[in-house]
Structure 1
């Protein structure tokens, strides 16, 4: 295999996996938004999504445009761009991508974010419009969903399922179209750029075509229901039941559940847990016991009379 074929087969394959990871992280950032007051979360959504789709576009461009006869250095210089629509236009010279004005408008929003918005607050003039990415996102959502989003008054608009489903469909359509072009172009060249690790974020996006986290929420909620209600016996169940629970507030359980979907929510309860730990005499032993839970190298043996845990 010559160097150029190796490049398009393996290096671009890794790049495809990276691009899918960024897109996944962008959608996860949007899913984690409680409302549209959270400028840092909106920035995170735009940043990851813009980088992921840009890199995906460039994989397609390379597979379409590259040949043995072109000037390699000049070709590589032509890839130094953050204009998503320009990259799409290069692809559209060969393929009718079937993207609508809605998708083009979103790609333009990503380009504007990456080229200008992400640097705006480094300038003094930003004091006059310091939240361009939020305004851009809200304007986009209000226009296409024909709604009004409030992020300044007391009753702010929550980031509900309607918004998450819409953004998932927009990002998902773009991702699906571009991945299909990667697959078709690579297949025509008898290379395997489109292959992805089965346990990767990219495979969830490109192969699983999952663009929201509704199913993920169902999984952890069903697991909690099972764990709380089951009378099943096993080594790990007996081990967990030996650990004295902390005195969390029962009326706050519905709020506590949010820690399963948000790293920030986990962090927000650290100080509460630390307070409860003040009443624990042997913290070291408790830490050692907690460390065994979810450790893939630990197996809990069980029989009706005894159980023990073993670590590989």
Structure 2
């Protein structure tokens, strides 16, 4: 297999996944901001955006610039750069050779400048004794002013200036970042076709797929869709009348006495992926009031764990009742009532059928009942329920 083909196909498809992860994490962190400041969250958001776009540019450059005529050592050195604008311009030049073109808007070019300035200069400023500790704020202001609709709203705090992250600011970042990502991804698709590689393919349900496959025009809209889905799930958990073994497990746990006045604040943060420290502190205080906090912690630890068989207790009880019916050759009304109560929580088609068959025993004569019991007993033994739930059922 040709080494360059492997490089473009396998290495670059992993890099594409990585680029999407960084871009997603960057816009995710940005959506959590209430104010742009010189604090950690702003830095992390810009860092992720910068690394993601830089990585994406290098993938495009590899697919369009690297061929058998290129000096590989020299080419690899060309990739050792953090200049978003420099990579943008190199890509434009190499595309001309292939009769392709890419153009960026005023806002898109301004974002390139922001990311280049942040990654190469601003992120180091506070390590300089005479450095500008608000450099990223200055860069962001310049980017925001590239949009004629932007209205500057600055707030002065004791530790520096802040920019309010209103809906217009979010939309500008989300729309511009998405547009750049889409334009480059289209070149990845074309470059993959040109090189006969599969570089453009993404893992389903990955963060990268949410960036590059989404039909939304703004990454903010994608985030809003995620928030909406989580809100709907929380409302479902609160109001659902469905009967499942997991919901039964949850319903049987006594709730802690959280202060309902804090609920909206807690949920507002959780929707955006933030676990507020106030929530953690309140939970710790409530646990201190419990007689057996360790037992409750073990109980709660199973909540929403995918590998837990929440239906196991219901299945086990049903199997024990059915086995008792077989041994006594008789089904009582109490046993049938209990099987009916457990039916919705079993979640196993064969056991559900056994429950139905066991219920039917009440309406059969002696001979029919004996035949039906033999059938039920056969299923219990041959489908593994005897071994799983009862250890041993006498034949």
Q: Give the equivalent residue in structure 2 for 1:280.
A: 290
Q: Give the equivalent residue in structure 1 for 2:233.
A: 223
Verify the 8 A CA contact 1:37 1:151 in the aligned structure 2.
no
Verify the 8 A CA contact 1:300 1:309 in the aligned structure 2.
no
d(CA) in 2 for partners of 1:201, 1:267: 26
Verify the 8 A CA contact 1:29 1:45 in the aligned structure 2.
yes
Query: In structure 2, do the counterparts of structure 1 residues 177 and 143 end up closer, same or farther at CA, with 3 Å as the change threshold?
Result: closer
Residue 275 of structure 1: SS of its match in structure 2? helix
Query: In structure 2, do the counterparts of structure 1 residues 74 and 240 end up closer, same or farther at CA, with 3 Å as the change threshold?
Result: same
Q: Give the equivalent residue in structure 2 for 1:98.
A: 103
d(CA) in 2 for partners of 1:13, 1:139: 34
d(CA) in 2 for partners of 1:96, 1:243: 61
Q: Does 1:290 align with 2:294?
A: no
Q: Give the equivalent residue in structure 1 for 2:31.
A: 31
Query: In structure 2, do the counterparts of structure 1 residues 157 and 7 end up closer, same or farther at CA, with 3 Å as the change threshold?
Result: closer
Residue 136 of structure 2: SS of its match in structure 1? helix
Residue 148 of structure 1: SS of its match in structure 2? coil
Q: Give the equivalent residue in structure 1 for 2:156.
A: 152
d(CA) in 2 for partners of 1:138, 1:261: 28
Mapping 1:25-174, distance limit 5 Å: 25-37=25-37, 39-93=39-93, 94=95, 95-126=100-131, 129-144=132-147, 145-152=149-156, 158-174=164-180
CA drift of 1:162 comes to 2.3
Verify the 8 A CA contact 1:36 1:157 in the aligned structure 2.
yes
Residue 305 of structure 1: SS of its match in structure 2? helix
Verify the 8 A CA contact 1:298 1:309 in the aligned structure 2.
no
Verify the 8 A CA contact 2:117 2:139 in the aligned structure 1.
no
Query: Could you state the TM-score of these two structures normalised by the residue count of structure 2?
Result: 0.73
Tell me the number of residue pairs that the alignment of Structure 1 and Structure 2 aligns.
308
CA drift of 1:265 comes to 3.4
Q: Give the equivalent residue in structure 2 for 1:4.
A: 4
d(CA) in 2 for partners of 1:309, 1:158: 50
Q: Give the equivalent residue in structure 2 for 1:305.
A: 341
Residue 293 of structure 1: SS of its match in structure 2? coil
From 266, 270, 277, the counterpart of 1:260: 270
Q: Does 1:232 align with 2:242?
A: yes
From 203, 215, 223, the counterpart of 1:197: 203
d(CA) in 1 for partners of 2:153, 2:143: 11
CA drift of 1:274 comes to 0.3
Verify the 8 A CA contact 1:172 1:209 in the aligned structure 2.
no
d(CA) in 1 for partners of 2:259, 2:164: 25
Larger relative contact order (CA 8 Å, sep ≥ 6): 1
- Please list the CA deviations of residues 161-184 of structure 1 after superposition, one character each: whole Å capped at 9, or x if unmatched: 222222111000000000100110
- Please list the CA deviations of residues 93-117 of structure 1 after superposition, one character each: whole Å capped at 9, or x if unmatched: 2132121122111101100111111
Q: Give the equivalent residue in structure 1 for 2:357.
A: none
CA drift of 1:300 comes to 2.5
- Please list the CA deviations of residues 119-160 of structure 1 after superposition, one character each: whole Å capped at 9, or x if unmatched: 01001112xx31111222134224423302223169x76423
- Please list the CA deviations of residues 7-29 of structure 1 after superposition, one character each: whole Å capped at 9, or x if unmatched: 10010110011011000011011
Question: 5+ unaligned residues in a row in structure 2: which ranges?
Answer: 315-338, 349-395
d(CA) in 2 for partners of 1:98, 1:209: 20
Query: In structure 2, do the counterparts of structure 1 residues 304 and 216 end up closer, same or farther at CA, with 3 Å as the change threshold?
Result: farther
Query: Could you state the TM-score of these two structures normalised by the residue count of structure 1?
Result: 0.92
d(CA) in 1 for partners of 2:17, 2:310: 35
Q: Give the equivalent residue in structure 2 for 1:21.
A: 21
Residue 310 of structure 2: SS of its match in structure 1? strand
Report the more deviating stretch, 273-282 or 209-218. Answer: 209-218
Query: In structure 2, do the counterparts of structure 1 residues 159 and 122 end up closer, same or farther at CA, with 3 Å as the change threshold?
Result: same
